[in-house]
Amino acid sequence: MLPIDLTGKRAFVAGVADDKGYGWAIVRALAQAGASVCVGTWPPTLRIFTKSLERGKLDMSLPSGGEIELEKIYPLDAVFDSLDDVPEDVRNDKRYIELSGYGIQEVADQLRSDFGDPCLDVIVHSLANGPEVRKDLLETSRAGYLAALSASSYSMVSMLQRLGPLTRSGGALVSLSYLAAERVVPGYGGGMSSAKAALEGDTRTLAYEAGRKWGLRVNTISAGPLASRAAKAVGTIDKMVEYYRANAALPEVATAEEIGTAAAFLCSPLASGITGETLHVDKGYHAMGMPADPQLSTE
């Protein structure tokens, strides 16, 4: 038996807002492997998330028995490196006005204060947002394009700048990408394909830089589509899921649990030789060169 054992490790998972998406699946897998887990939640969804947690509406169960116990929940808006960058209209927004410390630097400072330095072994970047994702790239504004890159790719650079110094040697960062970084996916617009391409390119560069500086491994998972609450922003998500089901090498759709366990593997000592990698977890869809038309089958 070769188990994934993260006992005594601490993970920070950025981008958890409910119990349906890939972020939560990664939380579950890391907790099942024995890690202590802290999460960062976007301020507009923080109240809903914490209330759901208090009322027992989130699925906290672990496949091996027991329940997930989150060590701490931090408000996090990863488009702001620090609170100095937050514009006045956001500061005064009703979802933000009672919060403090939601910039990346402030979250890093709070982690250091709460747990010491160093205190992290695993960083998970499960963040993406493109305000114009339903627009073709040709119709995307400069502001929309840059917003997609800021929230979905530069946020990983900023997180690593500030959380990297908190990691212990042998630590790992994993992020979530999508095949639109490599292939044309109609309907996935607004600069999001560009943001995912940047994320994958940055993964390779940061693997070198963070590896030399902190002994940190950096990888990303190119996940198949999931009809999560967040993904509903992509109007064609249900069609994308069904297309994968029909045309992947394995005629199935990758589950959130499979993404979670792949992330736990990449963050574990079992993957100590893997860094700078884009790991496709999509039932082999990325390997297909044309639709899996039954009429072309040799059977």
In this predicted structure, what is the pLDDT of residue 181? Answer: 97
Q: Which of 136, 123, 214, 248 is nearest to 176 (CA)?
A: 123
Please say whether the beta carbons of 172 and 219 come within 8 A. Answer: yes
DSSP E strand stretches across the chain: 10-14, 36-41, 70-75, 120-125, 167-177, 217-223, 278-281
In this predicted structure, what is the pLDDT of residue 233? Answer: 57
How many other C-beta atoms are found inside a 10 Å radius of the C-beta of residue 66? 11
Print pLDDT tens along the chain (299 aa): 788 999 999 999 999 999 999 999 999 999 999 999 999 999 999 999 999 999 999 999 998 889 999 999 999 999 999 999 999 999 999 999 999 999 999 999 999 999 999 999 999 999 999 999 999 999 999 999 999 999 999 999 999 999 999 999 999 999 999 999 999 999 899 999 999 999 999 999 999 999 999 999 999 999 988 765 555 555 567 888 888 899 999 998 899 999 999 999 999 999 999 999 999 999 999 999 988 876 555 55
* Token code pair at residue 284: 């082999």
Please say whether the beta carbons of 216 and 164 come within 8 A. Answer: yes
Say which amino acid occupies 29. Answer: A
SS3 (DSSP) at 298: coil
Task: Provide the CB-side half-sphere exposure for 39 (13 A, CA).
Answer: 27
* Token code pair at residue 226: 């999931």
Q: 85: Cβ–Cβ under 8 A, 6 or more apart, which residues? A: 103
In this predicted structure, what is the pLDDT of residue 279? Answer: 98
Q: Which helix (H) or strand (E) holds 155?
A: helix 155-163
Instruction: Point out the catalytic residue in the list 188, 208, 244, 285.
Output: 188
In this predicted structure, what is the pLDDT of residue 51? Answer: 97
Please say whether the beta carbons of 174 and 263 come within 8 A. Answer: yes
> From CA 249, how far away is CA 159, in angstroms rounded?
35
User: Could you give the domains of the chain?
Assistant: 10-284 (3.40.50.720)
In this predicted structure, what is the pLDDT of residue 216? Answer: 98
Q: Which of 244, 286, 279 is nearest to 261 (CA)?
A: 279
> From CA 232, how far away is CA 24, in angstroms rounded?
17
Catalytic residue list contains 188: yes
Instruction: Point out the catalytic residue in the list 102, 178, 244, 285.
Output: 178
Q: Which of 198, 190, 199 is nearest to 130 (CA)?
A: 190
In this predicted structure, what is the pLDDT of residue 202? Answer: 98
> From CA 254, how far away is CA 179, in angstroms rounded?
13
Fill in the DSSP letter of residue 190. Answer: T
